[in-house]
Structures are given as C-alpha cells and as structure tokens.
Amino acid sequence: MSAPEHFGVDEASLAELVVPSDLRSAKASEDRILAELARHKYEGDTIFAIKLALEEALTNAIKHGNRNDPSKHIVIRFHIGDERTAIMVRDEGNGFRPTALPDPTANANLERPNGRGIMLMQAYMTKIRFNEAGNEVWMLKENRTRPPAKSKSRSLRR
C-alpha cells in the first residue's frame, strides 16, 4: 500500500482515489492526474508517457483484475511533484505473475493482439513494481528524463 522506499515519495504526500471499476470512472481519475501534471508544467513527452502507462494500468485493473465487474473498485494513490510522479493502481482481483508473461517483442509473439500493456508500462516509466500478489502496481516517472529505451530488463518485483 505504501510506495516502494526507493521511489522517494513521502507517504503523507499521497492523494487517494477509490473509484468504481469502469472505464468512464477511470478516465475521470486519469483526467484529474493529467491536469495535475499540466499544472506542474511537465513536458509533452513525459505527460505522454505517464498517460500511456496509467491507462494501461487502469485497463488491466478493470479488465483482468476486476474482470469487468462494475460492483468492484479500483484504488489509485498518487504523488505529483516537480521532480517525480508516483502512481499506484490496485484492483480487487487475485493478481498475476508479471514475470511469467511472454515477451511481446519476440518474433513468435509479434502478431499476437494482446500482451503489450505491462511491457509499455515498463518502457515508458522510470520504474514499476508489483506487489507479491500482483494486484497492485506502483509506477514512478522522474521528470525531465530522456526518452524511453527500446528494451529494459528490470525486476518487476519489489
């Protein structure tokens, strides 16, 4: 529930939203976070990256975590500062093993229509960490970072 220590985010600075598990509610939360990024004058590429990763996390939580059950909820916690943004998305599902996902950029998987969300979150954020269960993800974006690298081999676990 708390941000990973190395994210450098003070617990007291986190805002929390609990929203119904549907795409429109998620979009409203996303819009609130994007407005906050604009208020902190994040540059376009950084906003693009955070928006993309946040949408993937929210979509995963609604579709795969809460299995499109509108009676369930999503918890979003976030800190937006001039130096970094940290966002957590948690669903009520049973979680999954992110390390067990096939590599969507492997030649054999290139034409599969699914399986790119987690990879994009990794590529566009500075760090991402799942909890042990796999139903909560923390994402960190340092502000004014360079464009994302093509591939990254990072641990997905904290």
Partner 1 sequence: MEQPSSHLKIRRANGVSVVEFADRKILEELSIQEIGEELSHLVESEAGIKLLLNFKNVDHLSSAALGMLITLNRKIKEHNGELKLSDINRQIFEVFKITRLNRVFDIHGTSEQALDGFQS
Q: Does 153 bind partner 1 (CB under 8 A)?
A: no
Q: Does 116 bind partner 1 (CB under 8 A)?
A: yes
Active-site hit among 56, 66, 77, 90: 56
Residue 100, judged by CB atoms within 10 A of its CB (0-12, 13-18, 19+), counts as: exposed
Rounded to whole angstroms, the Cα distance separating 132 from 97 reads: 8
With the CA atoms of 55, 140, 133 and 120 taken in that order, what torsion angle do they form, in degrees rounded to the nearest 10? 50
13: which 2 tokens?
């600075």
Rounded to whole angstroms, the Cα distance separating 64 from 76 reads: 16
Give the count of beta carbons closer than 10 Å to the beta carbon of residue 103. Answer: 11
Look up 68 and say whether it is catalytic: no
- For partner 1, the closer CB: 14 or 17: 17
Q: Does 23 bind partner 1 (CB under 8 A)?
A: yes
Look up 131 and say whether it is catalytic: no
Among 6, 27, 67, 97, binds partner 1 (CB under 8 A): 27
- For partner 1, the closer CB: 105 or 145: 105
Look up 60 and say whether it is catalytic: yes
Short-list 86, 75, 79, 85, CA closest to 136: 75
Active-site hit among 97, 112, 144, 154: 112
Between 41 and 60, how does the x/- string for binding to partner 1 read (CB under 8 A)?
Answer: ---xx--x--xx--xx--x-
Query: Residue type at 95?
Result: G
Query: Residue type at 17?
Result: L
- For partner 1, the closer CB: 48 or 97: 48
Which residues of this chain interact with partner 1, rule CB under 8 A? 23-24, 27, 44-45, 48, 51-52, 55-56, 59, 104-105, 110-117, 119-120, 123, 147-148, 150-151
- Catalytic residue list: 56, 60, 112
